[in-house]
Structure 1
């Protein structure tokens, strides 16, 4: 499956990230959130200008995964040290901020390919750890991360609109090859 690093001047790819983010977040969390809070979150965090700014940020890496026909399967957002979405004391770590897989990508190995890319980016940058935040009630994602060797090390508040929710913080070591 082709994996493209999204560049700041690639407006069509940025639009695709917006669409994937909005769709996967809605499919995953709509049933568990107030519609107004969900809409506020989507309008703030998946606005085209916001995603374009994130892609342009030097400490953030975005990857778009497609199938061989060019249809979108998912995307990945990684943050290098100094660009984390929250304050954590992991100076030699990479943050996995988003790993989103559309329904048509589930069961295809798309999530595994995105995770392998995450670990490779960490190795390429000489980082010894990957960390992430995952909603405490997202059992499917937590099980996926645990299968990849992630363990809990804390928690933080994640706002969905006006609703304060608890994210579990998880990390795993990244041995250098």
Structure 2
């Protein structure tokens, strides 16, 4: 998979972002949720309005993983006040790393993750944190393997279903 490129997404990539966002979220979570809750979340969470706001937010960045020009995964980072919790200047939140199912296990997620760490270090962040659904062992194991530790939990609403996210963080060496 040597030809994978990580590129920063801009407002021009809105349609691509909506497409990859919806597809990967659906692939990742549809089996564990009702169709109704999935559709509600996809409509709200990946609406043109919401994505436009996020792409225009100077404290948020999106990156695509592309293979031969096709977007196969993406990363969303939040800084400062745009973090969903812990709004600390010295931390960065990885809000999303998603990869199309057919590319799971092919290091795409790792490349996006490596990009996140590179940016965290450039920003002199003290730690990186994220929330991961407690019923997503693949993701939890990935982050544990990369040195993350659990430090808290929070509730994530998917449609009318309250789910528990495990909050994990990685301290960066100064």
Class of the TM-score when normalised by the shorter of the 2 chains: over 0.9
CA deviation string 1:72-117 (max 9, x = no partner): 11000000121111x2265411000000111232222111110100
The one of 3, 6, 13 aligned to 2:6: 3
1:32, distance to aligned residue in structure 2 (A): 1.0
Instruction: Tell me the distance in 2 between the aligned counterparts of 1:98 and 1:157.
Output: 16
1:78 aligns with 2:60: no
2:160 aligned residue: 162
Tell me what 1:18 maps to.
18
Counterpart-to-counterpart distance in 1, 2:59 and 2:19:
22
Give the Cα separation in 2 of the matches to 1:73 and 1:175. Answer: 31
Q: How does 1:80-119 map to 2 (within 5 A)?
A: 80-85=79-84, 87-88=85-86, 90-119=88-117
Q: What residue is the counterpart of 1:136 in the other structure? A: 134
**Cα distance, 1:43 vs structure 2:** 0.4
TM-score scaled to structure 2, two decimals?
0.93
**Can you list the C-alpha shifts for 1:14-56, whole angstroms capped at 9, x where unaligned?**
2111111111111111111111111111100011221121011
Residue 17 of structure 1: SS of its match in structure 2?
helix
2:80–2:87 contact (8 Å) kept in structure 1: no
Instruction: Report the Cα distance in structure 2 between the residues aligned to 1:159 and 1:174, rounded to whole angstroms.
Output: 30
SS where residue 86 of structure 2 aligns?
coil
Unaligned regions of 5+ residues in structure 1, if any?
A: none
RMSD across aligned positions (CA): 1.3
Unpaired runs of 5+ residues, structure 2, are none
SS at match of 2:82: coil
Aligned length: 171
SS at the partner of 1:2?
A: strand
Report the 3-state secondary structure (helix = DSSP H, G, I; strand = E; otherwise coil) of the residue aligned with 1:127.
Answer: coil
